[in-house]
């Protein structure tokens, strides 16, 4: 691979290119039929609901861990059963927090893949904002689309560009802090239990929670990194060789025939 031309892109962008290759096939019109558009709109709204639900759970459970000392020692009654809140519950809450964080990561990646697919569907028919055509089926993050600087029609000025950059920085910092907040609380519970003489089962659950958290953070990081992708020898949506591969093979065959002639 050394010296070969490559393109750097994220795994989400690469997944969208796979879908784009299907748009160029004979069955590409399928993706513009009402059944498909209704389906992908419904799937994205489901994913959006998953993000909100799981992110809310992760944030709430992490906050409970942060202020657990305030409720430790109290009790509550549910269905005639009285439960005592003790330190032994912290690894269980920690594991639930890790599970919610992982589910949030899965859902967010799915949402971004669906978003890229919608962009490819629109770009294929020269529509820059395909999501607005689906507003009757999927009203999702319209405020975000409204603040994005425009290039077509009435072009945005420098003021909006600067404002969006500032907003993007603030959103990025706050989102990162909110995403890492559950992970920090899970790590704190793990360190507290490992350094104490608590029961081994509590330490095991805390260790599992930490591993799930690392899984979620690592998965999110992998999908943010841009990897190198090199030209392949076969078209992605068919079993046919690329034009470049055919030319290379023809050149190698011609060189082989020339060498054979000189030998004779």
SS3 of residue 196 by DSSP: coil
pLDDT at 79: 66
Task: Count other C-beta atoms under 10 Å from residue 212's C-beta.
Answer: 19
> Is 137 found in the same domain as 32?
yes
Distance, CA of 230 to CA of 63 (rounded, Å): 45
Whether 55 and 135 share a structural domain: yes
Asked whether residue 136 falls in the same domain as residue 247, the answer is no
pLDDT at 250: 79
Q: What is the dihedral of CA 226, 230, 236, 239, to 10 degrees?
A: -160
Domain boundaries, position 73 = 7-147+178-231
From the DSSP assignment, how many helices (H) and strands (E) are in the chain?
A: 8, 4
Q: What percent of the chain has pLDDT over 90?
A: 50
Number of domains in the chain: 2
pLDDT at position 138: 86
Q: Are residues 118 and 239 in the same domain?
A: no
Q: Is there a domain that residue 195 lies in? A: yes
pLDDT value for 241: 80
Q: Which of 104, 115, 107 lies closest to 12 in space, CA to CA? A: 115
Residue 100 is assigned to a structural domain of this protein: yes
* 57 shares its domain with 124: yes
The per-residue pLDDT for 76 is: 65
Q: How many CB atoms lie within 10 A of CB 116?
A: 19
Q: Is residue 81 domain-shared with residue 183, that is, in the same domain?
A: yes
Residue 229 DSSP SS3: strand
Same domain? 202 vs 250: no
pLDDT value at residue 107:
95
Q: What is the mean pLDDT of residues 85-107?
A: 91
- Residue 43 counted as domain residue: yes
Residue 259 lies in a domain: yes
Residue 124 pLDDT > 80, yes or no?
Answer: yes
Distance CA 88, CA 94 (A): 11
Per the domain annotation, does 196 fall within a domain?
Answer: yes
pLDDT higher than 60, residue 258 = no
Q: What is the pLDDT of residue 151?
A: 81
Prediction pTM value: 0.84
131 with 247, same domain?
A: no
Quick one: which of 224, 223, 225, 218 has its CA closest to 98? Answer: 218
Clarify whether residues 255 and 222 are in a common domain: no
Residues 192-248: pLDDT tens digits?
888 888 788 889 999 999 999 999 999 999 999 999 988 888 877 777 787 777 887
261 with 225, same domain: the answer is no
State how far the Cα of 61 lies from the Cα of 212, in Å rounded to an integer. Answer: 15
Say yes or no: 256 and 185 in one domain: no
In a domain, 166, yes or no: no
Same domain, 91 and 23: yes
């Amino acid at each position: 691979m050394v010296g070969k031309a490559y393109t750097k892109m994220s795994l989400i962008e690469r997944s969208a290119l796979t879908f784009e290759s299907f748009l160029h096939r004979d069955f590409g019109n399928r993706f513009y039929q009402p059944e498909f558009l209704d389906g992908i709109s419904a799937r994205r709204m489901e994913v959006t609901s998953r993000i909100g639900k799981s992110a809310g759970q992760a944030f709430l459970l992490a906050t409970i861990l942060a202020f657990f000392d305030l409720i430790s020692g109290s009790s509550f009654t549910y269905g005639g059963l009285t439960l005592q809140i003790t330190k032994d519950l912290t690894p269980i809450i920690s594991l639930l927090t890790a599970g919610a964080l992982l589910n949030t990561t899965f859902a967010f990646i799915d949402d971004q893949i669906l978003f890229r697919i919608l962009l490819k569907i629109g770009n294929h028919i020269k529509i820059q904002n395909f999501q607005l055509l689906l507003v009757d089926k999927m009203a999702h993050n319209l405020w975000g689309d409204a603040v994005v600087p425009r290039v077509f029609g009435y072009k945005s000025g420098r003021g909006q560009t600067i404002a969006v950059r500032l907003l993007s920085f603030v959103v990025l910092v706050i989102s990162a802090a909110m995403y890492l907040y559950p992970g920090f609380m899970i790590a704190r519970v793990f360190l507290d239990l490992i350094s104490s003489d608590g029961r081994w089962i509590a330490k095991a659950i805390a260790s599992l929670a930490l591993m799930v958290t690392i899984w979620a953070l690592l998965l999110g990081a992998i999908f943010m990194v841009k990897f190198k992708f090199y030209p392949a020898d076969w078209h992605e949506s068919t079993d046919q060789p690329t034009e470049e591969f055919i030319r290379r093979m023809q050149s190698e065959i011609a060189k082989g025939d020339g060498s054979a002639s000189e030998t004779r």
